[in-house]
Structure 1
Amino acid sequence: MSGRILLVDDIAANRVMIRTKLASAYYDVLVAETAEDVHRLVRAEQPSVVLINVTMPTLDAFGLCRDLKSSWDTALTPIVMMTSVDDAEDRLRALEVGADDFLVKPIHDLALFARVRNLMRMKFVTDELQLRAETTRELGLDSAPAGIDDIVLTPAHSVLIAAPDHLNGAAWAKAIRGKLAVQVDFVTSEKGMANRIAADVPDAFVVHQTLADSGDGLRLISTIARRQPTRHSALLFLVSDNDMSTAAKALDLGAWDYVMPPHDLTELAVRLRSQLRRKLYSDMLRTNLRDGLRLAAIDPLTGLYNRRYADHHLVNMLTQARSEGSDLALLTLDLDRFKSVNDSYGHDAGDEVLRQVARRLQETVRGVDVVVRLGGEEFCVALPGTSRKGALQVAERIRRAIADQKFEIGTRDPIVCTGSFGVAVSIAGADNVQQLLTAADRALYKAKAGGRDRIATAWDD
């Protein structure tokens, strides 16, 4: 994940202070003082987050934010606006022109770092989806979605509120419905939320810190963010204790945004609109990718990407890693003695094992990771922004996911299956695709020779 941040401020003392804070957390900080420099650096350096000082006499901060958010190639770049005055009108104006957050100086370190981490994580996911869309276009498939500004909210879109009580839930639902023209409903407990999700997954959640029946809003957002049916829904957290550490914890648990008390309903609606549009844009990318790739780049047995797609997409992933100075890890996996499964149980059973392996792979890795069936019983997983240590941890999770649970194949006895793994990491995208694949394959052969059901790494050589 890129750690590049663009700081826009015309006061040297401010730049030094904020730059020092960010550098202490190992972020790479770029500096700009004019709108021209900002536009040039955003396009050339592709920062993960832009921080803009509101009170600059030589630059219209709100106009700059609006320009960046209205341009197709910078619209999804996260922007945080900073000011010395906690003015509700300025905060709403910033959100209206597209800012992702509004921080008041002196900036709380916890608030700054939590928001930067959160926005980087969200941009990383969107960037990966856009990169996959670019790959499909290069393969001759049309998967270009409309721009995020073209997305219009309608009553077909839904919001579910987890409120502390019936009175607030009804008031918030009415206000959001009136401002955004979307379908809004509410519950007041974790159990009520679980029942509603089981019936229908909304596009967005608004979760208050405290719920009825001793419900815990932080626990609820953690559940929503990690569960497969709800992991792509927009998620806003309403802080009730006015503690910035609570807001920071919510962001780290998976919330997309937060609102501090008192909960201004206009601000809530503006933030919710922004996150809903981001969610729907990501959905469009996923849908277009799925439709465009179904025949040309998807393995029909497992539903994973095929070798043709992987060869092309890895080039794009390495190019992006090189531009960001980030690592790209590649795991190759070969199921051990898989021929004996086909010989003993039949090819239908073998196909079912392959399908289940594909599901376990997808459930074990992140949404930004790319899982591929290379052919036969061989798979690979590309892990952007992942170090050697992180790649080994992922490989071990996958190894256990395959080895520790038998494969059910209907009326026959369950099948025990294991896999051997090769791991290679391109440091800052320095390798080409063939070098990376060859390094991972060599490590895989070493794992096979070492006794199978194990992990070997390219860098041990």
Structure 2
Amino acid sequence: MPKRLLLVDPIPTHRIRLKAVLRAAQYDITSVDRIACVSGAIAASPVDLILLNTSGTDPAQAMSRLTKATGPSGVPVLCRDDEAGPLRRMQALATGACDMVATRVPETLLLARLRGILRDAEAIGELERRRVAAASFGFREQAARFGTVGRIVCVTLGSPSLALQEDLRSVSHTMTGLTRDELLRDEGIRSTPDAVLLEVGAEAADQLDAVLPEIRARSHLRDASVIVIHPMGAHDLAVRALNLGASEIAEVGSSGLELGHRIETMLSRKRVRDSLRRSTEESFRLATTDPLTGLFNRRYAEVYLSDALLRAKETGRPLTVMMVDIDHFKSVNDTYGHASGDAVLLAVASRIRDNLRAMDLVSRHGGEEFLVILPDIAGHESELAAERLRDSISSVPILLPDGTPLTATISIGVAVSQASWLQSESSKASSSVDYAAAEHQAGSLMDELISCADAALYAAKNGGRNRVSISRRAASAA
């Protein structure tokens, strides 16, 4: 499903032009002409990001009014301004905006900045949802440590800027200067850095294409955030940096205060991600995974699905559930032994996992059954995804421990929850359902959705196996 963006701009021609650009990039767009209309627009259709035009106003005051209108939603904000200079950028950043760009900025840079902000928000949101699921088991991770001194390595590609070097003196983190080769060598760095600051001169722009991918390929740098400092007005270079995975960008003409703020914000986001990642690794390993396949177990998947249904109800986005069963699995155990049965389970689990998106979830539901959860998928897309999974199993034989090739097949039952299906009579009757009631309702909807997928799986098996069956009940409610 496309991300939903809200344009807040008093100028009709701006809204028309931006709508055309963003819709061409496959975003779902809503627009209003003033901040006073934001709360109503969000209530009608939750959004993933707000584009706010602050031209002709005080950016800090505009952000303050917007924060009051959105409440504690945490929706990221990208400001657009006719005079997006260092002072106005800093005013926007200091009051909660993710960034400020000029209204005349090239479309490619605007889109690259949008992608980066949305990617950060999605990653943090997904990690937070998994943390909440872990917390339901009684696990608690240590809070992220804020205000700690970060380790930053600075690398210059091309001629260094003396003004930038002076501005960086005010940054309250450990700054170590390295050459490009020292950065990419393990032995060139005594401890894993938290961030890499790349200053890229106009004459060295081509080097960026080689250095950024190499940073992500090095184990000692893979989790480091990267901020690219580029010459003023070098929009093409900024776009390339963001598209190659830079966490943040800034112009050489930025003030020391702005650079410090961007670096601190970038490191804060990294500390949160690191903390949640550690929590995930430690808490989930034993409590939420199946020891044979390494997939999530049934208990975790049901907690996750219940939470996903609550989110789907809030956003109006669909969610697909698949029940997958290995055909004639008992005969594999009876004919070849349980070791061979385990090999088949492992191979099927691996192929299912490899054919899903990063945001999808697969669990071992029990025995030879798997539960697959696909957010933002519905209709023909869900059928195509199921057929892809089915083909991935049957198209290549599985090698058993003794080297015997075995062609396995699976049957799949698919059920789709659309917004109308999620809206039960109780939720329609009341707009103020408490959390406990909403959680109970999500549990009931989860049971019903799994039941629909299970019934479709039963139909697939009765229809001859090695096939996909779509639940008519879920589809008819869409």
TM-score bracket relative to the smaller structure: 0.7 to 0.9
> In the alignment, what sits opposite 1:331?
322
TM norm structure 2: 0.72
Q: Which amino acid aligns with 1:384?
A: P
> In the alignment, what sits opposite 2:112?
114
> In the alignment, what sits opposite 1:285?
276
After superposition, what is the alpha-carbon deviation per residue over 1:309-362, rounded to whole angstroms, capped at 9, x for unaligned? 322322221221232222222233323443344345543454455445545544
> In the alignment, what sits opposite 2:54?
54
Contact 1:164 1:211 in 2 (8 A): no
> In the alignment, what sits opposite 2:427?
none
After superposition, what is the alpha-carbon deviation per residue over 1:267-295, rounded to whole angstroms, capped at 9, x for unaligned? 55533332232232123233334544455
> In the alignment, what sits opposite 2:79?
81
Contact 1:125 1:367 in 2 (8 A): no
Q: Which amino acid aligns with 2:51?
A: L
The structural deviation recorded for 1:84 is 0.9
CA distance in structure 1 between the aligned counterparts of 2:397 and 2:163, rounded to whole angstroms: 51
Instruction: Point out the structure with max Rg over C-alpha.
Output: 2
The structural deviation recorded for 1:367 is 3.5
After superposition, what is the alpha-carbon deviation per residue over 1:377-414, rounded to whole angstroms, capped at 9, x for unaligned? 222221222344554565466556655666677x7427
Q: Which amino acid aligns with 1:54?
A: T
Contact 2:453 2:471 in 1 (8 A): yes
2:299 corresponds, among 292, 308, 324, to 308
Q: Which amino acid aligns with 1:372?
A: S
Q: Secondary structure at the match of 1:300?
A: coil
Q: Secondary structure at the match of 2:323?
A: strand
> In the alignment, what sits opposite 1:426?
417
Q: Which amino acid aligns with 1:365?
A: L
The structural deviation recorded for 1:80 is 0.9
Change (3 A) 1:229 1:330: farther
- Percent identity of the aligned residues? 28
> In the alignment, what sits opposite 1:179?
171
Superposed, 1:123-162 pairs within 5 Å as 123-137=121-135, 139=136, 141-143=138-140, 146=143, 151-155=146-150, 158-159=151-152
Q: Secondary structure at the match of 1:116?
A: helix
Change (3 A) 1:104 1:361: same
| Count of aligned pairs | 450
Query: Does the alignment pair 1:164 with 2:157?
Result: yes
Query: Does the alignment pair 1:299 with 2:273?
Result: no
Q: Which amino acid aligns with 2:265?
A: S
CA distance in structure 1 between the aligned counterparts of 2:420 and 2:281, rounded to whole angstroms: 27
Change (3 A) 1:32 1:242: closer
Moved more, 128-137 or 354-363: 354-363
TM norm structure 1: 0.74
The structural deviation recorded for 1:123 is 1.9
Alignment root-mean-square deviation, CA: 4.9
1:271 corresponds, among 249, 262, 279, to 262
Change (3 A) 1:405 1:6: same
Contact 1:326 1:429 in 2 (8 A): no
CA distance in structure 2 between the aligned counterparts of 1:199 and 1:447, rounded to whole angstroms: 58
After superposition, what is the alpha-carbon deviation per residue over 1:133-164, rounded to whole angstroms, capped at 9, x for unaligned? 33444x35254774x7x623434xx5566653
CA distance in structure 2 between the aligned counterparts of 1:297 and 1:13, rounded to whole angstroms: 52
> In the alignment, what sits opposite 2:441?
none
Contact 1:65 1:97 in 2 (8 A): no
After superposition, what is the alpha-carbon deviation per residue over 1:173-219, rounded to whole angstroms, capped at 9, x for unaligned? 99869724247564526x97386799987544556779999975346
The structural deviation recorded for 1:85 is 0.9
Q: Secondary structure at the match of 2:289?
A: coil
* Alignment gaps of 5+ in structure 2: 423-444
Q: Which amino acid aligns with 1:188?
A: R
> In the alignment, what sits opposite 2:32?
31
